[in-house]
Amino acid sequence: MTEFHIAMAVFLAAHLIPASPGLRSRLIGLMGRATYLTAYSLLSLGLLAWLTLAAQPAVTVLLWDPAPWQRHVPFLAMPVAAFLLIAGLAWPNPLSISLRSGEEPGPIVAVTHHPVLWGFLIWAASHVPPNGSLVVVLLFSGMAAFSILGFFLLDLNARRRMGANRWHARSAGTSIIPFTALLQWRSSWTSLRPQRLPALIAVGACAWFILQGHALLIGPDPLAGLLAMR
């Protein structure tokens, strides 16, 4: 349990400290935006893996026994989460997180201007129902809450960096809640056409995780768990 607490503290520190606009700007100035975001993404993934592994041997306090339907939640949600993560990182997005620099937002912003955060939020929230132990619920609930907090922190940073007028102009055709801008016709549905490749990559990545990746990298085999519930 001690390792879990340490991993959680390091993970939170690694995400809260760079959220300071001054520190983040200095790091981007020294490293360049692409290098900074790549290094930060790799660090985040490494800390996330450590945090997940540290939670597994922790003392188990069972809050509920997962029902068969709860096992299906991540299977249904993860393709959406993977798509938002992949498309969000692949397209330029000055309003939020992306591995590509550019002043003009990519077409994924028509869905939401925080696709990467929504990917993490869906990933975390979908893993709560099939995991009834206290430590795992705290882990994924904390990740979900942290993603929601990120919506407001990134908007604040982008508005400060770009200026209020420019930020409003860039965000006029998008929204925090996915598909809101499209449903309100503030953005064109044709912007979804370039998303076919990220969608195919997301489906392939999810298939690999279900069949092998999750058991190889994380430990538990989700497919075996689902079959055992039948």
Structure token digits, residue 219 = 């430990």
The answer to whether 138 and 128 have CB atoms below 8 angstroms apart is no
Do 83 and 32 lie in one domain? The reply is no
Do 33 and 121 lie in one domain? The reply is no
pTM of the full structure = 0.82
Do 55 and 72 lie in one domain? The reply is no
Do 69 and 85 lie in one domain? The reply is yes
The residues near 38 (Cβ < 8 Å, ≥ 6 apart) are: 99
Tell me how far apart the alpha carbons of residues 117 and 119 are, in angstroms, rounded to a whole number: 5
Residue 86: its pLDDT value, please? Answer: 94
Beta bridge partners of 133: 62
Q: How many domains does the chain have?
A: 2
pLDDT bracket for residue 200 (50, 70, 90) = very high
Q: Which of 87, 79, 82, 77 is nearest to 109 (CA)?
A: 87
Single out the residue in 59, 81, 96 at which a domain terminates: 59
Q: Residue 82: CA atoms inside 13 Å, Cβ hemisphere, count?
A: 20
What is the tens place of the pLDDT at every residue in 3-47? 777 877 777 777 666 656 666 677 777 877 777 777 877 787 787
Tell me how far apart the alpha carbons of residues 36 and 28 are, in angstroms, rounded to a whole number: 6
Buried b (16+ CB within 10 A) or exposed e, 63-78: eeebeeebbebbeebb
Do 13 and 105 lie in one domain? The reply is no
Do 112 and 177 lie in one domain? The reply is yes
pLDDT bracket for residue 229 (50, 70, 90) = low
What is the rounded average pLDDT of the residues 209-223? 76
Residue 46: its pLDDT value, please? Answer: 80
What is the tens place of the pLDDT at every residue in 117-152? 999 999 999 999 988 888 888 888 888 988 898 898
Tell me how far apart the alpha carbons of residues 95 and 101 are, in angstroms, rounded to a whole number: 11
Structure token digits, residue 191 = 């912007």
pLDDT bracket for residue 88 (50, 70, 90) = very high
Cα three-residue angle 24-149-146, rounded to 5 degrees: 90
Do 26 and 112 lie in one domain? The reply is no
Do 170 and 82 lie in one domain? The reply is yes
More confident residue, 214 or 106: 106
What Cα–Cα distance (Å) separates residue 51 from each residue in 48, 78, 80? 5, 19, 23
Tell me how far apart the alpha carbons of residues 167 and 185 are, in angstroms, rounded to a whole number: 19
Tell me how far apart the alpha carbons of residues 131 and 56 are, in angstroms, rounded to a whole number: 11
Tell me how far apart the alpha carbons of residues 18 and 201 are, in angstroms, rounded to a whole number: 30
What is the tens place of the pLDDT at every residue in 151-186? 988 898 888 888 888 888 888 889 999 999 999 988
Do 130 and 157 lie in one domain? The reply is yes
Do 177 and 215 lie in one domain? The reply is yes
Do 136 and 110 lie in one domain? The reply is yes
Do 155 and 51 lie in one domain? The reply is no
Range of the domain at 48: 1-59
CA torsion, points 99, 178, 45, 130, in degrees to nearest 10?
-160
Single out the residue in 12, 41, 59 at which a domain terminates: 59
Single out the residue in 40, 59, 78 at which a domain terminates: 59
| Percent of the chain with pLDDT strictly greater than 70 | 89
Tell me how far apart the alpha carbons of residues 184 and 195 are, in angstroms, rounded to a whole number: 20
